[in-house]
């Protein structure tokens, strides 16, 4: 394993008198990098199986490169210069509505579709299960709906678009078991795993795991920015190129609005765009979402974690930054191969501070997929309608997508034409609805919300059957109190609080 520590310019021996603070930091950086390199080399050397050793070696090299860059940036204390940030010029964010229609289905022959499937359903109360296995609509899971979308695409256009899942070590076993049920479907399913990186002790700056077989909790999947290393290291990128595939559409498995769109794919091809990011209009609910910016003449992704604290409110401004990143991208696979083989990718590092099971502070070094945009030619954004961004991050989102606001068409959620407003309602459910099990218990049936603008629910609240919510509805059960909404209740622009069982409706 050829892990080497780049020598930092101006590093002096720790014994040299009068060394500056910068020299001290650089020397410290060199020592930390060397210690990390030695630990990783030891772990690799202890892997006996040749195939496993090769995979683990590649992962540890990628991790070491990221770790070393983290140390260098920390020593230099580089931060983004807010004064150099500009919103993108309008021509770099064309509107979806301005794209010409196309019936050219031959372009699908060059396409593959990838879903990011590395996350667990932990935040929604499903520990140990992939988020994609959550049942979301009509007895179908995220994975079922994604498969149905691709299957319909292939049937409707007499084509064969492969469906790829990027799993993590957390989701792979269960996902492999689940996808067996699609064996007789008109769909080719491929899988590969994103990398497995060691957690790092915040104080020691050494890997938490002591061997390649250390328990799962000591490792982490390093964010969706790892897709590029992982698809290359797995050999899948080369296989796709050999099969004549040129474009890849990537989105989160929990985004039920992200399906293949011929107009967008045609735009990618016609504009010779190597990397296209789908953006959508920012609302008050999305102010923390990442956005594309012009930084010294280059298109860059800016995440809230990178923003200096004194400029966070500027970042949230809908006036300055109109759009946010949906994490759906189209990427040219030939260009991806070129970038990986020549310049490599240096994606902005996101430091995720965590507490290990034993209480030790650890860090996880992660990257975001959209940050790769700076490496590609003719890269830009496209302003898509909100209907292409329907993520399910919490049970509040689950309420929306299981309601009468939507119907299912070939695995895709379609807005009910009777909805008067284009925007979806804002729904905020309290902690008592956080887990799916509690959500299902507290809603006897999902309310009718076709005319709802805003719903806030807090405390011990129970919904009966066939309830209708309209306008702005706020329901707050005070601590120690309980609110039961009986079957058939209609609440329109109502504030309900205290300890109530509503009878009059």
Residue positions annotated with a catalytic role: 393
By three-state DSSP, how is residue 334 classified? helix
Distance CA 332, CA 335 (A): 5
Find the angle CA(46)-CA(50)-CA(55) to the nearest 5 degrees.
85
Q: Which residues pair with 141 in a beta bridge?
A: 135
Instruction: For residue 442, list its beta bridge partners.
Output: none
Alpha-carbon gap, residue 415 to 408, rounded angstroms: 9
DSSP letter for each residue of 285-314: GGTTS-EEEEETTEEEEE-GGGS-GGGHHH
Strand, coil or helix: 337: helix
Which tokens is 303 given?
């995440």
Taken in order 135, 331, 344, 293, the sign of the CA dihedral is negative
Contacts of 297 (CB under 8 A, 6+ apart): none
d(C-alpha 382, C-alpha 261), whole Å: 12
- Asked whether the beta carbons of 95 and 380 are under 8 A apart, the reply is no
What are phi and psi for residue 266, nearest 5 degrees? -65, -40
Do 416 and 404 meet the contact criterion of CB atoms below 8 Å apart? yes
Q: How far apart are CA 413 and CA 421, in angstroms?
A: 16
| DSSP 8-state symbol, 97 | G
Cα–Cα separations (whole angstroms), residue 90 to 293, 372, 414: 11, 21, 28
CB 459 within 8 A of CB 432: yes
- Helix or strand (DSSP H, E) at 156: helix 142-157
Radius of gyration of the chain (CA): 25
């Amino acid at each position: 394993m050829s892990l080497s520590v780049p020598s930092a310019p101006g590093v002096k021996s720790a014994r040299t008198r009068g060394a500056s603070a910068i020299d001290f930091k650089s020397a410290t950086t060199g020592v930390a990098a060397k210690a990390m390199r030695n630990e990783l080399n030891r772990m690799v050397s202890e892997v006996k199986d040749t195939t496993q050793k090769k995979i683990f070696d590649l992962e540890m090299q990628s991790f070491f490169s990221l770790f070393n860059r983290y140390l260098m940036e920390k020593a230099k204390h580089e931060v983004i210069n807010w004064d150099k940030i500009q919103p993108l010029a309008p021509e770099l964010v064309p509107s979806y509505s301005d794209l010409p229609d196309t019936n050219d289905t031959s372009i699908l022959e060059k396409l593959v579709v990838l879903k990011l499937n590395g996350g667990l359903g932990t935040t929604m109360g499903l520990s140990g299960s992939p988020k994609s296995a959550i049942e979301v609509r009509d007895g179908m899971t995220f994975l079922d709906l994604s498969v149905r979308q691709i299957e319909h695409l292939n049937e409707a256009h007499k084509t064969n678009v492969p469906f790829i899942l990027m799993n993590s070590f957390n989701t792979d076993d269960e996902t492999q078991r689940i996808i067996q049920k699609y064996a007789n479907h008109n769909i080719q399913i491929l899988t590969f795993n994103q990398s497995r990186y060691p957690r790092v002790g915040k104080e020691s700056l050494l890997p938490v795991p002591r061997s390649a077989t250390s328990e799962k909790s000591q490792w982490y999947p390093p964010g969706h920015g790892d897709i590029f290393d992982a698809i290359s290291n797995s050999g899948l990128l080369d296989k796709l190129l050999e099969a004549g595939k040129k474009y890849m559409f990537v989105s989160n498995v929990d985004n039920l609005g992200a399906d293949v769109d011929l107009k967008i794919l045609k735009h990618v091809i016609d504009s010779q765009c190597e990397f296209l990011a789908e953006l959508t209009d920012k609302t008050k609910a999305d102010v923390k979402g990442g956005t594309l910016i012009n930084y010294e003449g280059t298109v860059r992704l800016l995440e809230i974690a990178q923003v200096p604290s004194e400029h966070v409110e500027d970042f949230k401004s809908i006036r300055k930054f109109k759009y946010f990143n949906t994490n759906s991208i189209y990427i040219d696979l030939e260009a991806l191969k070129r970038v990986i083989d020549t310049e490599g990718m240096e994606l902005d590092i996101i430091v995720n501070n965590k507490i290990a099971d034993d209480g030790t502070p650890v860090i996880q070094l992660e990257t975001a997929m959209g940050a790769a945009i700076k490496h590609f030619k003719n890269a830009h954004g496209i302003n898509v309608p909100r209907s292409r961004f329907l993520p399910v991050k919490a049970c509040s989102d689950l309420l929306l997508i299981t309601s009468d606001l939507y119907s299912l068409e070939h695995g895709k959620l379609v807005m009910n034409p009777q909805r008067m407003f284009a925007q979806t309602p804002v729904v905020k459910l309290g902690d008592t609805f956080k887990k799916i099990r509690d959500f299902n218990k507290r809603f006897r049936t999902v309310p009718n919300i076709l005319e709802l603008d805003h719903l806030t629910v807090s405390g011990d609240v129970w919904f009966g059957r066939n309830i209708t919510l309209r306008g702005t509805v706020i329901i707050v059960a005070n601590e120690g109190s309980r609110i039961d909404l009986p079957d058939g209740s209609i609440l329109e622009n109502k504030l309900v609080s205290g300890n109530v069982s509503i009878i009059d409706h």
